Amino acid sequence: MGSISFGKINQVRNIKHESTTLAIRNAGESAEMKENTINKLIGKRTVKCLEIPHYA
């Protein structure tokens, strides 16, 4: 049987860990972008609702 060095095993673990971490980081950034977009839309909508002309 061929032996696998511990360094190679650690490299594989690190690569898997990095891809998982990157996916979590990207998901967080995506959620933050969605939150910012929603806040902008709600902010614009509330301003338009509060602007009541004097002749109404």
Please calculate the CA angle 30-32-34 and round it to the nearest 5 degrees: 70
In a domain, 27, yes or no: yes
Q: What is the pLDDT of residues 32-55, one digit of tens each?
A: 888 888 878 777 665 555 566 666
d(CA 15, CA 7): 12
Has residue 2 got a pLDDT over 60? no
In a domain, 35, yes or no: yes
How many structural domains compose the chain?
1
In a domain, 3, yes or no: no
**Host domain of residue 45:** 17-55
In a domain, 4, yes or no: no
In a domain, 5, yes or no: no
> What per-residue confidence (pLDDT) applies to 30?
78
Q: What is the pLDDT of residues 3-31, one digit of tens each?
A: 555 556 556 666 666 667 777 777 777 77
- What are the φ and ψ backbone dihedral angles of 15, each rounded to 5 degrees? -65, -45
In a domain, 10, yes or no: no
> What per-residue confidence (pLDDT) applies to 34?
82
